[in-house]
A and B are shown apart, each in its own frame.
Chain A
Amino acid sequence: MEKQSSNRATQLIEGLGSSLRRCICSVLSVGPVPKHIAFIMDGNRRYAKKQNLEAGAGHRFGFLALMNILKYCYELGVKYVTIYAFSIDNFKRRPEEVQSTMQLIQEKIEGLIEKESIINRYGVRVHFCGNLKLLSEPVKLAAEKAMNATACNSKAVLSICIAYTSTDEIVHAVEEACKEKRDEFRALDKSGAGYGLSGLGENATDRNSPLIDTADVEKHMYMAVAPDPDIIIRTSGETRLSNFLLWQSSSSLLYSPRVLWPDIGFWHLVRAVLDFQRNFAYMEKKRKES
């Protein structure tokens, strides 16, 4: 009897909370809403230490916080969300920690595509962005399965940066762009178009026609699936990008609340969006000028 009424109370509170959020989202939607928010989910291990939990538990709480934040973002109408799940630099951590984090990631990826998950509820297409060759087979397979399972979703996009660093992304994009150009030249060569590679070399030294331009590089970025982020939020008070979306962050508003990632809530998101709206007119002007 008591359990029933406490369940009802919880449901009531959740219902109230949800209505309040919907109200606030409607108010915020009167102004411009960011199309893309990126998150550096920092502070899980510090949270575990603070709560006297074992180290890995912080990441589990972090995952719960992530699910809530995704819900709030999609309720607000943010179409693209990107998260920094695991950096190539994080492979430097203790092997036991890396392994347990990878196991958790695999578990959660598999959970993402279950019927009742947020991903399906909000029609989210999932992309895994990074050097996936660095992942172990089971994690890689889980990621590919999730990408295939959500390929038809089109209401929103979730980009999970895993085995990712921005410098690695740029190098990979340059490599692919160079390979593409080299293959183009070879095809021209083979088809006997009359230009040997050395002939092209003479043309290429004409500085008016560069071999490779910004568009060539950009189209091979892992993150080409989304526009540049409007806001990058890093929790736990550290104010640095840590090799995340360097190329794409040029005009992003950076927000670094002190809260640890597992403690992040709706109000932090509201604050970030309000900041974004305050700066919007100025940024639009800059965008039109460039």
Chain B
Amino acid sequence: MPSHVAVIMDGNRRWARMRGLPVGSGYEAGARAFRSIVELCCNWGIRVLTVFAFSSDNWFRPKVETDFLMGLFERGLRDELQHLTSAGVRISIIGDVSRLLKPLQVLLADAMETTINNSRLHLIIAVNYSGQNDIVQACQKLAIKVKDGLIEPEEINEFLVERELETNCTDFPHPDLLIRTSGEIRISNFLLWQLAYTELYFAHSLWPDFGEDEFREAVYSFQRRQRRYGGQKS
């Protein structure tokens, strides 16, 4: 079973368009699929689930849509927080939250604090996240350490960079399996550094249709793969 699964929840808007529904219904259906996947992860013993809720590239969508999405996110989190806490889920947020509205920022900080000691499943939600920015902010932190004389540039190595990445909140920062739904076959600025050896799985179904069967299929595909990390077959 993979320890860390990452998901790009793509296809909500297409799902709604295909049914002649407003985009908001797509996001709501997506939220339902998300809840069911969180539960499956808890039941199957997956330790970390990282979801790409909102990319920094998504701000270019119409304001009406991004407002709706933020509202849905806030409502969903408020409704589910109790349930997630009692289910032993720890919530962490990665990404630049400073651009979100104040009430949502407060709610996110609160959720992270209340669930910090939970250990059944670590749910990492990427909001206003960009893989490249994550690497750059890690570099900025290292640059400041160099400037302050704490480290020499020559001492910078992969371990130091990883320690500063936003995924340093977990002991398993590298996803074993990345699932992207809706048939798009690219990473789109999600976890870039962390995906170095991740098995990538591209599902045809749109996110709201991604349920237990599809998830099981993704995990089976992962279990059949031979991971060599550049070395030889054992």
Please classify how large the interface on chain A is, using the bins under 10, 10 to 19, 20 to 34, 35 or more.
Answer: 35 or more
- Which of these, A176, A241, A246, contacts B200 with CB under 8 Å? A241
Interface of A is mostly: helix
Q: Is A165 an interface residue (CB 8 A)?
A: yes
Q: How far is the CB of B189 from chain A (nearest CB, A)?
A: 4
How many B residues touch the partner, as a band?
35 or more
Are B144 and A204 in touch, CB under 8 angstroms? yes
A-B Cβ contacts below 8 A, count: 141
Chain A nearest CB from B91 CB (Å) reads 26
Question: Which of A97, A178, A242 lies at the interface centre, i.e. has the most chain B CB atoms within 10 A of its CB?
Answer: A178
Question: Do A246 and B147 have beta carbons less than 8 Å apart?
Answer: no
Residues of A within 8 A of B157 (CB): 171
A89 contacts B60, C-beta separation under 8 Å: no
Q: How far is the CB of A127 from chain B (nearest CB, A)?
A: 22
Pair A211/B161 contact, Cβ less than 8 Å:
no
Q: Does the CB pair B136–A200 fall under 8 Å?
A: no
Residue-wise, chain A 96-136 has the 8 Å CB interface mask toward B (1 for contact) of 01000000000000000000000000000000000000000
Assembly CA distance A179 to B208 (angstroms): 48
A238 to B, closest residue via Cβ: B225
A191 and B17 CA atoms in complex are apart in Å by: 63
Contacts of B140 in A (CB 8 A): 210-213
A258 proximal to B (CB < 8 A): no
Q: How far is the CA of A239 from the CA of B161 in the complex (A)?
A: 25
Binds A, one of B4-12, B36-44, B180-188: B180-188
Please state if B197 and A246 are interface contacts (CB–CB under 8 Å).
no
Given contacts A167-B158, A247-B135, A253-B186, contact A242 B230 (CB under 8 A): yes
Known contacts A247-B132, A253-B186; 8 additional CB pairs below 8 A are A45-B232, A167-B161, A174-B161, A175-B154, A212-B140, A214-B133, A239-B199, A240-B199
Pull 19 A–B residue pairs with CB atoms less than 8 Å apart, ordered by A: A87-B230, A89-B230, A92-B230, A92-B231, A166-B193, A171-B161, A174-B142, A178-B142, A197-B147, A210-B140, A211-B143, A214-B136, A238-B225, A240-B199, A242-B229, A251-B188, A251-B189, A252-B186, A255-B185
B residues neighboring A (CB under 8 Å): 57, 60, 131-133, 135-136, 139-140, 142-144, 146-149, 153-154, 156-158, 161, 185-189, 192-193, 195-202, 225-226, 229-232
